[in-house]
Copies of this chain bind each other. A is one copy, B any other.
C-alpha cells in the first residue's frame, strides 16, 4: 500500500491486552495507518484460560478473531504473521513473509513459559499461555481419569490420579484448586472403578509460601482453602527433575502421570535481538513514557516491558498493566503525531485477585483485603466486566452459572492431536 502524504504508519506486534487496546484507540484516527501483526488469529482473554484447561469453558468463549474485533476501523490491517527481527535504525520490521516500514512501533508480544534452562521438561509439564496449551492440559488431566478407570493395578491407578502443579503463583493456585474440586465433586459420580479419595493434587512451591505478591494473611487463607479442596501445599520444595513418570525433588519423588508448569515466564525472544537494556528476566527497561531508550518512536508494553519509574518494584505482568500501557502508548503516539510531547505513564492500581475453586477467592486492593465467597463475587464481577467487547459475555456467564449450580464441567472433551485415520495406525489412539 502506498503512503498518503503525511499519513503515519503505526505497527503493533502482538494483539494481547496491550496490543489490542492500543489498536482500538488508534482505529479510525486521522493521519494514522495501522497494521496489527500477531502469530495467531485470535485475541485471548488470558485470565480465564485456566477454565479452558479445566474444561469449564470452550476456547471460543474466551478468544475471538483479532481482525473481527478491529473490523470497524478502516485504517487498520490485521496480519497473521511472525515478526523475526526489528531493525530499529531503519525503522523496519522483518516478518516471515517480508518486511514493513514503520513510523511508530508498539511491541506487545507478551511472555511465554520459562523452564530456566530445563526446556526438555516442557514435554512432561506443559505451561498455560495459549489455547493449544490449555487444550493439551485438558487432554492430560481428563485422560488421567480415563486411564485410572480401566487400570486394574492399584499402584498405576494411583499414579494416574496424582497431579503435581509446579509453581505457587495465581495460575498454579487456580489450576490446583480446579483439579482438586474436579476430583472431589464433578468426576466422583461419573466413574465406577475409581476411588476418588485416592486422587492427590500437590502444589509445589520453591519459595517459603504461595502467592508471594499477596499479603501473608490472604496467602495463608488461600492455602487453607486449597486444603479444603484436598490440595496438598508443599512450600520450600525445589523440583530437581521432571520425567514421564513423575517429579523428583532433593529427597523425595512424586509418582504421577500429570505435571503442570506454572513456575515462571520469560518475555518474547524478540527482546534479545533489540540491542537495548534488558532486566534480569529479559524485559525491555522502558523510559517513563514507555518508549525504548534512544528510540522515542518505539514503545514496549505489557509482559515484554520493565517499568519501574517512581515505584518500589517493577510493574507485574498482569492484564490491567498491559491494558493501561497499551492505551497510554496509543495516546502518546497521537500526541507525538500532533507535534506534542509524550506523557510519562501512570499506573492506576486495580488490585490483585486469585480464585480457589468454585466459590472462593482472595482479593487485595490497596489496604482492602477480602477472602472467601465475597472475594469470589468480586472476581466474577471484574472478569465479566472486562470481557466486554467479547460477544460471548452472555454465553460465558451462562456457562459459568450452569457449572456453578450443577457441579458439571461443560466442555469435558478429550480431543486428540491426530486427525488422520489412515496415515496413523488405527489402533494407536493414545493421545
Q: Which residues of A from 385 to 427 have beta carbons under 8 Å from B?
A: 391-392, 394-395, 398-399, 402, 406, 408-423, 426-427
Q: Which residue of B has the minimal Cβ distance to A416?
A: B132
Q: A352 within 8 Å of B by Cβ?
A: no
Q: Does A60 sit within 8 A of B, measured CB to CB? A: yes
**Residue in B closest to A146 when the chains form the complex, CB atoms:** B80
Q: Chain B contacts of A227 at CB under 8 A? A: none
Specify the chain B residue showing the minimal Cβ separation from A55.
Answer: B60
Given contacts A42-B414, A395-B398, A412-B68, contact A150 B421 (CB under 8 A): no
Cα distance, A423 to B41, chains bound together (Å): 22
> Which residues does chain B contribute within 8 Å of A79, judged by CB atoms?
149-150
Q: Is A63 an interface residue (CB 8 A)?
A: yes
What number of copies of this chain does the assembly contain? 2
Distance to closest chain B CB from A405 (angstroms): 11
Q: A187-195, A216-224, A250-258, A285-293: which one contacts chain B?
A: A187-195
A125 nearest CB across to chain B (Å): 11
Q: Does A130 lie at the interface of the complex (its beta carbon under 8 Å from any beta carbon of B)?
A: yes
Is A122 a contact partner of B418 (Cβ separation < 8 A)?
A: no
A133 within 8 A of B: yes
Supposing A79-B149, A126-B419 touch, asked if A60 and B410 sit within 8 A by C-beta, the answer is: yes
Interface hit among A8-16, A111-119, A163-171 = A111-119
Chain A 93-123, CB-CB to B under 8 Å as 1, else 0, gives 0001110000000000000110100011011
User: Is A225's beta carbon under 8 Å from chain B?
Assistant: no
A26 to chain B, nearest CB (A): 15
Chain A: residues with Cβ within 8 Å of the partner, total of 77
* A40–B421 alpha-carbon span in the complex (Å): 13
For residue A402, give the distance in angstroms from its CB to the closest CB of chain B. 7
B67 A413 Cβ-Cβ under 8 A: no
Chain A 119-152 interface 0/1 with B at a Cβ cutoff of 8 Å (1 = within): 1101100100011110110000010001001101
Q: Are A150 and B97 within 8 A (Cβ)? A: yes
Assembled-state Cα–Cα distance A410/B392 (Å): 8
A297 within 8 A of B: no
Most buried by B among A40, A77, A413, A429: A413
Cβ contacts under 8 Å, A142 to chain B: 41
CB contact between A39 and one of B77, B126, B191, B429 (< 8 Å): that residue:
B429
Task: Tell me if A412 and B65 are in contact (CB < 8 A).
Answer: yes
Chain B contacts for A399, CB-based, 8 A: 395
Residue on B nearest A131 in the bound complex, by CB:
B415
How many whole Å from A146's CB to the nearest CB in chain B? 4
CB–CB B130/A419 < 8 A: yes
Known: A150-B81, A189-B71. A413 touches B65 (CB 8 A): yes
Kindly list chain B residues whose C-beta atoms are within 8 Å of the C-beta of A427.
82, 84, 96
Q: What are the residues of chain B within 8 A of A133 when measuring CB–CB?
A: 419
Q: Say whether B398 contacts A132, CB under 8 Å.
A: no
Residue of B nearest to A142 (CB): B41
